[in-house]
Amino acid sequence: MTGLSVVSINKLIELLELKDILTVDFTNTRGRRAKTYQINYQAYTLGALQLHEVHDYIKANYSLIDLSGKIISQTHYEENITSVEQLLEFIKQRTAQSKPQKIIVGIPGDELNGYLQLIDVKALRGIKLSKAIEVSTDIDTIIVNDINACIFGAASSLHESQNIAAGIYFPKLYGPGVGIVINDQLITGADGLAGEIQYGTVDQNESPKDQIIDHLRNIISLINPNLLIAYIDELNLTDLEINQIIQTLHRHLPLHQNYKLDFNRNFQDDYLFGLATIGRNIIFKKLSGN
């Protein structure tokens, strides 16, 4: 299957054993004793931190995840995040108990040129968050936009990541954001600002329903996605309003018929799954590079 020789495979297996990625056992087959190998998914762990809006506050969830994607433990930080020191202390407490090989942080904003910008948490603006976490914990850290992680998670779980998938998240107090996945790659743009549609031309004085229609219409007409997910839980729209949105889109875009529009995905679930998938992919890539 690999095209490698038996000698090469045996050498690689020995290397994987040394790195504790493979565990060895023995079994009897027709009177012969044979080795069996299993992946040790606990050999490396990932710390996934979600910053998210809950009832007008920014809170944090921390999850420790193994290489299979299994959640080993979870901790919810119930206080409002108001300072970087507060956030760093929470991360230090969690990683001191079980130190992961990597930390991935999802934020409602973007890290540009190493600094947090366009972030909804005012106290974190202008902070080199990944660097601050690395200094505090001695753990390699990466920052990912929340909706980017979310749509990557949804596209992966729905097997749409090889196609064109887009997601748009409407928080209660802040502007919406869009994430785009094409051919299993997140599209971040030349400046890292792809999906920052708050800078678009949709009139923010319109009703929430009309703004959603305009945003969805722009996304569908621009990239013609296979999958488009609208995360609207925070807006408390009725089933009637959602149906009106769908009918309006069909009326304005009669030629666009092959996309799937989904209003029922859970933002937090896709968010965590996306962080776990991106983080694990990075760990696997580093391991294969070594």
Percentage of the chain with pLDDT > 70?
98
Mean pLDDT of the chain: 90
Residue 30 in tokens: 């027709």
Confidence band of 105 (pLDDT split at 50, 70, 90): very high
Long-range contacts, 268-271 (Cβ 8 Å, 24+): 268/50, 268/52, 268/61, 269/153, 270/150, 270/151, 270/153, 270/154, 270/157, 270/167, 270/229, 270/231, 271/50, 271/52, 271/106, 271/146, 271/149, 271/150, 271/153
Over the stretch 137-153, which tens digit does the pLDDT of each residue have?
A: 999 999 999 999 999 99
| Number of residues that make up the chain | 290
Model pLDDT, residue 120: 67
Over range 81-92, report the average pLDDT: 91
pLDDT of residue 18: 87
What number of H helices and E strands is found in the chain?
Answer: 7, 14
pLDDT at 290: 61
pLDDT digits (tens, 9 = 90+) for 107-135: 988 777 778 876 767 778 888 889 999 99
91 near 133, Cβ under 8 Å? yes
Q: What is the mean pLDDT of residues 27-45?
A: 87
Mean pLDDT of 75-99: 91
Q: What is the pLDDT of residue 172?
A: 79
Q: 99: which 2 tokens?
A: 């130190």
